[in-house]
Structure 1
Amino acid sequence: MDGSQGELFAASPLDPSEVRRFLADNPDFLKGDDGLLAELGLTVATSNVVEFAPLARVHAAHQEETKQRQMLEEVARANFAAQAQTHGAVVDLLDARNNADLARRVDEVARTRFGLAAGVIALECDGLPPAGWRGLVQGQVDLILDGPHRLARMGFAPTALGLFGDDAGEIASMAMVRMAIWEPARQGLLAFGSHDPEGFTPEMGSELVAFLARVAERTAERWPLL
């Protein structure tokens, strides 16, 4: 073969069917050429099996991607369910007939809609609070929230156990949001208690609880405190 014929032969494209036929007729060709195997990213797993390492890595990456997507979908479903329950809770609170009924509905929402141990409204006052509400002394909201400028507190707070009365022994974590009701504003709290120590943690956002607190404030203001 002269040079021109060699160049013509080298430039001719390979027919995939011929390559396939050659490999089928010579099954040991790949296994015997370590250099070619390395270039192709293949390894010989056993005496007669060629492992496609790149494909294995792709498969592993696909499995991890699927796992991450499923986790994101679960979080999205949980968020959607929480928002749906919160919207239902808002309707329940707005239907309250008086302050006592509002306190009852807060506890009912906590137990039936969110699976919690209890829900409480508390108010700093000199006399008796509205029926069903927890009475607090002046400055107690700041003490419970651990500071005069804190609007919310998530997690376990021993100073808040008294809010839950007879249910205090069941409370392992709390979500609490500051409230300001009526004019002049009176300091109060909307508090939810969970049986689960991880039910509410300091890392959690308080947006949904704060939203419910604002609804409770506006609802309570229908009935001025005498």
Structure 2
Amino acid sequence: MSQDSFPAIQELDPLLVQEYLQDHPEFFVEHPELLATLRIPHRDRGAISLVERQQGVLRERVNQLEEEITALLTVAARNEEIYRFYSELLFDLLALESLDEVQQALASRLRAQFRFTRVRLMVATAPGSFAEADVASLLKRRLDGRGYYLGRLPAQEALGLVGIETGSVALVGLGEPGRWSGLLAIASHDPSHFVPEMGTMLLDQLKQLLSFRLQHRQG
């Protein structure tokens, strides 16, 4: 076979080289001398060896993993702080005697902890009926089957309910669906604070406690 029948080196497909090396991981074990002679262009250091390049990639990956671990630990610490806050808040609310005290403590504690713009506990005058005539119809439109609405509201609805036109809200129906005994409305100026896909585990606990307090209200 003549030499011309072989493809020229410059015409060799890089993908074929990549696939060959992936299929033959022992290649550099059988040809260790290549590790010392191969040179790879580097943006800051000129040409470096393959081993140096591998070490650099590993260092970059280690740094990336360290940053990810730090971020996860930060999130975990924040989640623990929020969990502890809600646990203490629930016990404190149980110890209060009147609904007025519950409303005041709830608003002041949530606003101080999360810098919410408005925290409002609305109590129904009768099951499913509120002093503001439009509240019942708003709940019927907005609350899902579990009694939640998380996200943004049209400016007119948000202004009438929580006093701000922009941002995001959490609406929590208290009591039985369709016969709500109350509504907890929380507003944040941050449009992304409350979003439909967020979890409601902590709000579930607050919802149960407030529903219980409204059922056994003492004024």
TM range (shorter): 0.5 to 0.7
Unaligned runs of 5+ in 2: 1-30
Q: 1:38 to 1:141 in 2, by over 3 A?
A: same
What percentage of residue pairs aligned between the two structures are identical? 21
In 2: Cα distance, 1:37 partner to 1:125 partner: 86
Does the alignment pair 1:197 with 2:195?
no
| Alignment check: 8 A CA contact 2:99 2:218 kept | no
Q: CA deviation at 1:194?
A: 0.8
Larger radius of gyration: 1
Does the alignment pair 1:107 with 2:101?
no
* TM-score between the two structures when normalised by the length of structure 2: 0.67
In 2: Cα distance, 1:124 partner to 1:41 partner: 81
Q: 1:54 to 1:97 in 2, by over 3 A?
A: same
How big is the alpha-carbon RMSD for the aligned residues of Structure 1 and Structure 2?
3.2
Total equivalences in the alignment: 179
- Correspondence for 2:170 among 169, 175, 179: 175
1:223 alignment counterpart: 217
2:141 alignment counterpart: 143
The 5 Å alignment of 1:35-184 reads 38-39=34-35, 43=39, 50=49, 52-125=52-125, 135-137=131-133, 138-145=136-143, 149-158=145-154, 159-164=157-162, 168-169=163-164, 172-180=167-175
Q: CA deviation at 1:87?
A: 1.3
In 2: Cα distance, 1:63 partner to 1:97 partner: 54
| Alignment check: 8 A CA contact 1:122 1:136 kept | no
Unaligned runs of 5+ in 1: 1-34
In 1: Cα distance, 2:120 partner to 2:37 partner: 64
Q: 1:202 to 1:48 in 2, by over 3 A?
A: closer
* TM-score between the two structures when normalised by the length of structure 1: 0.66
| Alignment check: 8 A CA contact 1:144 1:160 kept | no
| Alignment check: 8 A CA contact 2:158 2:164 kept | no
**SS of the residue 1:52 aligns to:** helix
Q: CA deviation at 1:198?
A: 1.6
Q: 1:47 to 1:37 in 2, by over 3 A?
A: farther
**SS of the residue 1:97 aligns to:** coil
